[in-house]
Structures are given as C-alpha cells and as structure tokens.
Amino acid sequence: MLGLMKKINSRLDKRKKIIFWGIVFLLLGSGVVLWQWPGAGKLVSSFLGTSNKAVLKLEPATGVFKVGDSFQLKVKLDTKGNKVVAVAVSLSYNPEIFEILNIDTSASDFLVGSECVYQSGPCQLINNDRNTGRLSLIQGRPTPGVNKNDALIAILTVRGKKEVSSLADNFVFDFSGGAQSKSKVILDDGQGTDILSGTENGCYSLESVSGTESASTPPATPTPPTPPSTTTPTSTPPADREAPLLSVIRVSEITEKSAKVSWQTDEPATSFVYYIGESDLFLEEVKKNEFVLFHEITLTNLTPASRYYFIVKSQDSSGNARESKMQSFQTLAAAATPTSTPTSTPPVTPTSTPPATPTSTPGNESLEKMQLIANLKKQIAEILARLASLQAELKKVQTSPKPAETPAYIPAGFRFLNNLYPGQKGLEVSYLQIFLKNQGEEIYPSGKVTGFFGPLTEAAVIRFQEKYREEILLPGGMEHGSGVVGRATRIKINSLLGQQE
C-alpha cells in the first residue's frame, strides 16, 4: 500500500492527490475517512440514493449454460452523467456451483490510458476468495475520472461446476446503501461522496451435459418381431430427492438485543432459524418463505449478555429439507453509559462450543433435541412453581396456632401426608407423638403428646427408623436414623396404621 502511495504521489498534482488518496482510504476503510491532506478538509463518505446516481451491473444479467463450460460476465458501471474517480466492487457467489477462472481488467475504462501506475501495473487491487465466494475489486482513475453510461470494469471468465436451476440471483453485489456497503462509486467532488444508488445482479442456470445429450438422442429403431412403437418416447426428469447443502453459516451485527444469522445454499430454498436462550423456556422460530440462495434472518428482542443456541434450516421447492448442527453466539452486555458514536460489530463466526456449565455437547444436537430441552426446562419451571406453593403451605402449618386441646387418639382413617421436621408444631405432630407412644417405651420413653416436634420426639423418630432399618433406611443407603419423618418413614407409619400411601 505504501508503495502504491509513492508511485501515484509522484505523478499527480496536488488536487489529484487529495481526491485520489481520499478515495483509496475510503474504499479500504469502513466508510468514514479520518485522513487529511494538508490544505484539504476531512473526506466523509455519504450515500445518495437518487435516480440520477450510479448503478453497477452484470452483462448478461441472465443466462443458461452447460455444466463444465466456461462463460464470460462483464462488470459494468453506468455513471449517470457523473464524473467518477474510483469504484469498489464486492461480488458474492456460491463457490460450490461457480468458479471464477480469470479476471481480465486490461480493457477497463478506469485503467486504459491512465497515468496511475503501481508496481509496474495499473492502480487496482483484486482479491477473489474461492473458499467463501467473494470477489473484491478496487480501481481508480484521477481527475477527470470516468463518465460513461456503459463503463467496463472487468471481464470475468466463469465455469459452472454443478447443475442448478436458479429462481433467484446467484451473483450478487454487496450493496445496502450507506457506509456499511462494500460496493462504492466515488464522485469527483473532492469530498469522497459515494453515489452508488443501485445494482443489477446476475441470475444464471446450469444444465447437465449428459441430460441434454440423452434428450437429443433419437429413439432406437424397433426390430422384428416387436411391432413399432406408436408413441414417441419422452424422457422424464428424475424427481429431486436431494436436500439443499448449507454452507458459510455466520452470525454478524451482534448487539445487546439482536443478531443477524446468514448462510448459503446450493439451490433456491426457504429460510428457517430455530433458537433458544440459555435462560428461556420456549424454542423460537423465525422463517422466510422466499426461495433464495443467500439467506439472512435477524433475531430481535434478545437478552443482553446471554448465550443463544440456534439451528438453521432450508427447504427446496420439492420439499427436501436440511438442518445444520446446533451452534451458538452471545449477545453484547448492556452498556453502562450511552456512547456518542455508534460502532459496527464485525461479523462473528458462530461457535459450537457450549458454556462451561452444561455437560452435553450442543454441536451434536438436532432440532428435536432442542425442542426436548425446551420442554424439560418448561417442566422444571412448573416443578419449581409447585415447590414454592408447597413451601408456602408448609409455612402455614408451621405457624398455625396450637390446638386448644391435646388429642388423646389418632382418628380412624387418618393418614400422614406431609413430611415432619424438628421445630414444627401442630395437630399432625400430636398424632405422630401418639403413634410413637403406642410403639412402646423402647421407642418413646416419655410418651408426651405436646404438639411440638422437640428433641424427645426427634429421638423417638430415630429409634423407630432404626428399628425398621431394612424398610426405611437401607433402601436410601442410610445406616442411622435422621429424625425427620420423610416419605419412607411415612409409608411405614401409615402401613402400621392400616393405611396405604
């Protein structure tokens, strides 16, 4: 980059330097230029989405080609009567379907006859990432720039790799308007103004070579004694049984309460995202029914500083569907104080690593297991709510006033239903003391019936539990009594009273 600066700097006058270097920094930066040439003001990129502004386009815009054959696409610019000094093209495609074999810029209107030279070549930067399917191309031409309605930028030689019948654009310019757009067209106004207002993407289908040949082959001549067929044989295309392939699954633009999930498919398909937060009880679903190759869904109303687990799913027009493995991301923490200048969050590759607490591996979970997890969390919440209700009832029993008279016997048909602990008081404690008294002095020597679960009652319960150790203690792995009337103790007491638990 420094070498490129020096070459251009030595050949341009001051005004050209100001304009061109502002453009270079603008296209390589995030949209706002914080660089200043002596004597020039700050260069700020702005978006003007009006009808008389520039348009990027592909020629041809549509086409049907054979798998394995190569074809050419021209990247062009309509400046709409404006003088343009630089252009940045960001073009996305599916690398599993298409392959860019060559990028020819020798006839570019931005480079032919230009006095701008960098490392013995034209002033341009080219990067084609064949793994992710993204072509980035930057070209510049100093003042007076380029002013044509059909300006050539590059000629792409493309090869089709697999059969696809496209219903949606599959060569797409990265253009959203504003500073976040990666495709830009810079006006020759000394201010670095971005005048790109629209794009014309490409939509291309690829046909199988073998399928075409078999369709064109004439039917065989019938041989005796078989009579000639009276119907013309027709070839029926095989039913589509292949689900879309999912690739390039990413999470970007993560904020405190939202995140964008994106992915690609090798054929037009619908878009589904299923997600659940670590503290949520229900599995959420967001979907789009359009058949597209590039999928984007924004999740909203999320909780700050929380981890979310998600699965993406796409279904083609034949009903074949495929879902991804579970992946996760974490929202940003809520800001303590508001910031004066918002900053964009760079794309984050989703991670399959779960938080430290869970013992299972979410990366191997399916959509059905995600739903099971949500159902289990819901059941746990219901159990906790029921437990809170029982605790409230227990508190009422513990604080209820002592009966006016101490009972002398246990009513017929009475059954112990609640756990009893030291410190409790009430009618049910009195019945427990009567029961223990009836077991003999070896169990309850004092035989007092007070309605208060004190040390004497606790000791009597322990003796009773150890007397029936095999039925009360051993099934729970205990050797000594606890003094608490729990479920096992209740069952034994009720059985001696002739009542079933």
Is a pLDDT exceeding 80 seen at residue 370?
A: no
In a domain, 214, yes or no: no
Asked if the structure places residue 235 within a domain, the reply is no
Amino acid at 432: L
Residues 173 and 258 in one domain: no
User: What residues make up the domain containing 6?
Assistant: 2-207
Q: Is residue 176 part of a domain?
A: yes
Instruction: Specify if 241 maps to a domain.
Output: no
Q: 22 or 462, which is more confident? A: 462
- Residues contacting 197, CB < 8 A, separation 6+: 48, 49, 50, 51, 53, 54, 55, 177
Give the single-character DSSP code of 474: G
**pLDDT mean over 247-256:** 94
Phi, psi of 256 (to 5 degrees): -65, -35
453 has a pLDDT exceeding 90: yes
Q: What is the pLDDT at residue 343?
A: 54
pLDDT digits (tens, 9 = 90+) for 134-143: 998 898 888 8
Q: How many domains does the chain have?
A: 3
Same domain for 493 and 418: yes
User: By C-alpha distance, which of 293, 255, 257, 251 is closest to 273?
Assistant: 251
Query: Which residue do the tokens 């083609």 mark?
Result: 316
Phi, psi of 266 (to 5 degrees): -85, 0
Q: Do residues 168 and 265 both lie within one domain?
A: no
- Residue percentage of the chain with pLDDT more than 90: 44
Q: What is the pLDDT of residues 141-151, one digit of tens each?
A: 888 889 999 99
Do 153 and 261 sit in the same domain of this protein?
no
Q: Helix crossing, 487-496 with 455-467: angle to 10°?
A: 80
Same domain, 184 and 250: no
Does the structure show a pLDDT above 70 at 309?
yes
Contact predicate 389/472, CB 8 Å: no
> Residue 199 falls within a domain, yes or no?
yes
* 175 and 314 together in one domain: no
Q: Which region among 334-348, 385-399, 478-492 has the lowest average model confidence (pLDDT)? A: 334-348
CA angle 179, 124, 192 (to 5 degrees): 35
**Among residues 204, 32, 191, 8, which one has the least CA distance to residue 117?**
8
Report pLDDT digits (tens) over 376-413: 777 777 788 878 888 888 887 777 665 556 788 899 88
Read off the pLDDT of each residue in 205-224 and give the average, rounded to a whole number: 56
Higher pLDDT, 176 or 261: 261
Q: Does the structure show a pLDDT above 50 at 212? A: no
Q: Are residues 18 and 80 in the same domain?
A: yes
**Is 385 part of a structural domain of the chain?**
no
- Provide long-range contacts, Cβ within 8 A and 24+ apart, for 353-360: 353/328, 354/309, 354/328, 355/278, 355/307
Of 93-102, 173-182, 283-292, which gets the smallest average pLDDT? 173-182
Which of the four pLDDT bands, split at 50, 70 and 90, describes residue 432? very high
Residues 256 and 186 in one domain: no
Decide: helix, strand or coil at residue 41.
coil
Of 39-43, 64-68, 240-244, 441-445, which gets the smallest average pLDDT?
A: 39-43
Domain holding 421: CATH number? 1.10.101.10
- DSSP string of 356-374, one letter each residue: SS--S-GGG--HHHHHHHH
Residue pair 183/171 in contact by the 8 Å Cβ criterion = no
Tell me what pLDDT residue 452 has.
95
Sheet containing 54-59, strands listed edge to edge, beginning at the edge strand earlier in sequence: 98-104, 151-160, 70-78, 54-59, 196-200
Confidence of residue 483 (pLDDT cuts 50, 70, 90): very high
Q: Would you state the pLDDT for residue 443?
A: 94
462 assigned to some structural domain: yes
Q: What is the CATH number of the domain that holds 252?
A: 2.60.40.10
What residues have CB less than 8 Å from 44, skipping those under 6 apart? 32, 33, 191, 192
One domain, residues 85 and 196: yes
Structure-block tokens of residue 485? 């009337």
Rounded distance between C-alpha atoms, residue 203 and residue 284, angstroms: 33
Where is average pLDDT lowest: 72-76, 206-210, 446-450, 461-465? 206-210
Residue 46 has pLDDT above 50, yes or no: no
Local confidence band at 39 (pLDDT 50, 70, 90 cut-offs): very low
Interacting residues of 140 by C-beta distance below 8 A, sequence separation 6+: 20, 23, 24, 85, 86, 87, 110, 116, 123, 124
How far is the C-alpha of 128 from the C-alpha of 99, rounded, in Å?
10
pLDDT for residue 259 is more than 80 = yes
288 shares its domain with 423: no
In a domain, 475, yes or no: yes
3-state SS, residue 193? coil
Residue of 306 and 282 predicted with greater confidence = 306
Q: Which two tokens stand for residue 28?
A: 């390589």
User: Given a cut of 70, is residue 260 above it in pLDDT?
Assistant: yes
Same domain, 38 and 115: yes
Helices (H), 100-238: 209-216
In this predicted structure, what is the pLDDT of residue 359? 37
CATH number of the domain bearing residue 91:
2.60.40.680
Rg of the chain in Å (alpha carbons): 38
Q: What is the pLDDT of residue 192?
A: 82
pLDDT value for 37: 29
Q: pTM for the complete prediction?
A: 0.39
DSSP state of 385: H
Q: What is the DSSP string of 409-470?
A: SPPTT----S-B-TT-BSHHHHHHHHHHHHT-TTT-SS----SB--HHHHHHHHHHHHHTHH
Pick the range with the lowest mean pLDDT from 182-191, 264-273, 398-407.
398-407
Domain boundary among 158, 178, 207: 207
Rounded mean pLDDT of the chain?
Answer: 79
| Range name among 154-158, 164-168, 457-461 with the lowest pLDDT average | 164-168
Tell me the mean pLDDT in the region 164-179: 77
pLDDT of residue 162: 87
Tell me the two tokens of residue 349.
């590759």
275 and 198 in a single domain? The answer is: no
Instruction: Identify whether the C-beta of residue 204 lies closer than 8 Å to the C-beta of residue 64.
Output: yes
Give the CA angle between residues 17, 18, 19 to the nearest 5°.
95
